[in-house]
A = this chain, B = another copy of it.
Amino acid sequence: MIQTEIITIGDELLIGQVIDTNSAWMAGELNRAGFDVRYKTTVGDNETDIIDAVSRALLRANIVLVTGGIGPTKDDITKKTLCRFFDTSLVFDESVLANIQDIFRGMNKNLNELTIQQAYVPETCTVIQNRMGTAPITWFERDGKILVSMPGVPYEMQWVMSYEILPRLQQRFPAVGAILHQSFWVKNYTESRLALLLEDFENRLPAFIKLAYLPTSGLIRLRLTGKHTDSDALRLAIDDQSARLTALLQGNIVAETDATLEQTLDVVFKSRGLTFCVAESCTGGKLASLFTAIAGCSQYFRGGVVSYSNEAKTEILQVNPADITYYGAVSQKVAEQMALGAQELFHADCAIAVTGIAGPDGGTPDKPVGTVWIAVAYGDHVRSRRFQFSKNRENNILRSCNNAMAMLLELLG
């Protein structure tokens, strides 16, 4: 198995200013291409720590991918530090300058001296052009091992990985073993009850397949992961175990997919030509944003209302004011009317409505923080359910989104 490590560099990652989303994205893409990520390290913009992290990673892994610290400003020292580590020096590269000039022409801006310094690259590396930004990608090799330094700006990194790095790695290691994941969204179980149900199943798994439990905002994601040199045999084995698992969990699997629930609904809407809308109170736009993050969602997504005030519920979604007074804004009546109101307002086939008390304040003895009513509608069919989530606001929002999507998936059958 070819081992890969990821090193992310930047003080902003060590003081909590920025969440590292790069390494998860990279790990997912590397896995799909057959490369196993074993270790991730984050260090600051500090020469000693960068050299320590790089040298340890190169001892353990075949491939080391480094992001960050290659901007034009003084705090970015990755390029200089890698020069020192690989015992080489900076030379001017005309092709990098040409790429930078191209990019600046596109933005109608003039080059300044700091940007021109981006065209200095380590002499002994292979330079790869970064079409999305001014910092070039540098590819080093030593003792059969590879280290690539690339930008930390997420969309630049994603372009570089997809179009330059992954294709080269696959060409270089054509015989990497396969890694396959199969995931299941499971409802109605706690983690420990599920583990007891699956104890036997788990004990009988072949050694090259592992089962993992991942409680995810109100549902549990079960994941079978297999690693094997023969990808066809692995596919058969994973399919076989998936079938056993499905039989054991009958009726409690919301979706059998590695995708998120919004990606799963995206496929359903597109393939069946259904349109969709949302009415959100406590999820406050989160549900809409999950779908609108997906390219091409305008095929089915008509829109949403974030009805944070009672007036928005009655005036825009046509909820009966008397029902809000009598049953409260967090009630079955209101959730169902929100779903039907949104369906009509947006002329959509399906709707999700969520109303609840996200917290930390606003609870009552009858309806404590974490009380959420969810309604889903498809044509004339409406289903609604009360949930009791946690005391944590963020957790309540995410659990509401996931359970709402699970309910709609079920209604769509």
Complexed CA–CA distance, A248 and B369 (Å):
47
Known: A15-B31, A16-B31, A75-B212. 17 other contacts (CB 8 A): A14-B37, A17-B214, A17-B221, A17-B258, A71-B215, A73-B191, A73-B192, A73-B212, A75-B213, A112-B192, A280-B285, A284-B289, A284-B292, A285-B288, A295-B360, A303-B309, A315-B345
Chain B residue numbers with a CB within 8 Å of A38 are 14, 43-44, 49
Given A11-B212, A192-B72: A43 and B39 interface contact (C-beta under 8 Å):
yes
Given A192-B73, A359-B295: A288 and B306 interface contact (C-beta under 8 Å):
yes
A43 CB to closest chain B CB, in angstroms? Answer: 6
Q: Are B295 and A285 in contact (CB under 8 A)?
A: no
Q: Are B316 and A304 in contact (CB under 8 A)?
A: no
Complexed CA–CA distance, A142 and B315 (Å):
64
Copies of this subunit: 2
Q: Is A129 on the interface with B (CB-CB < 8 A)?
A: no
Q: Are A114 and B44 in contact (CB under 8 A)?
A: no
Complexed CA–CA distance, A12 and B24 (Å):
9
A35 CB to closest chain B CB, in angstroms? Answer: 11
* Max chain B Cβ within 10 angstroms of own Cβ: one of A44, A278, A285: A285
Query: Would you list 15 pairs from A and B whose C-beta atoms are within 8 A, ordered by A residue?
Result: A11-B225, A15-B28, A16-B25, A16-B29, A17-B221, A19-B24, A39-B41, A71-B191, A109-B190, A114-B192, A284-B291, A285-B287, A297-B308, A303-B316, A316-B345
Complexed CA–CA distance, A190 and B115 (Å):
10
Complexed CA–CA distance, A43 and B18 (Å):
20
Q: Is A235 on the interface with B (CB-CB < 8 A)?
A: no
Chain B residue numbers with a CB within 8 Å of A28 are 15-17
Complexed CA–CA distance, A390 and B395 (Å):
32
Q: Is A397 on the interface with B (CB-CB < 8 A)?
A: yes
Q: Total interface residues on A, using CB and 8 Å?
A: 113
Complexed CA–CA distance, A358 and B179 (Å):
33
Neighbour of A196 across the interface among B12, B113, B202, B303, CB < 8 A: B113
Chain B residue numbers with a CB within 8 Å of A278 are 285, 306
Chain B residue numbers with a CB within 8 Å of A296 are 361
Majority SS at the chain A contact face: mixed
Q: Are B210 and A75 in contact (CB under 8 A)?
A: yes
Q: Is A312 on the interface with B (CB-CB < 8 A)?
A: yes
Those 9 A-B pairs whose CB atoms lie nearest each other, nearest first: A284-B292, A16-B28, A285-B288, A285-B285, A16-B27, A40-B42, A285-B289, A304-B306, A155-B392
Q: Is A47 on the interface with B (CB-CB < 8 A)?
A: no
Query: Considering only CB atoms, which chain B residue lies closest to A12 in the complex?
Result: B214
Neighbour of A193 across the interface among B112, B303, B358, B359, CB < 8 A: B112
Chain B residue numbers with a CB within 8 Å of A115 are 192
Complexed CA–CA distance, A409 and B293 (Å):
25
Neighbour of A40 across the interface among B14, B195, B202, B211, CB < 8 A: B14
Q: Is A13 on the interface with B (CB-CB < 8 A)?
A: yes
Neighbour of A306 across the interface among B15, B213, B285, B311, CB < 8 A: B285
Chain B residue numbers with a CB within 8 Å of A202 are 74
Q: Are B306 and A298 in contact (CB under 8 A)?
A: no
A36 CB to closest chain B CB, in angstroms? Answer: 8
Q: Are A211 and B306 in contact (CB under 8 A)?
A: no
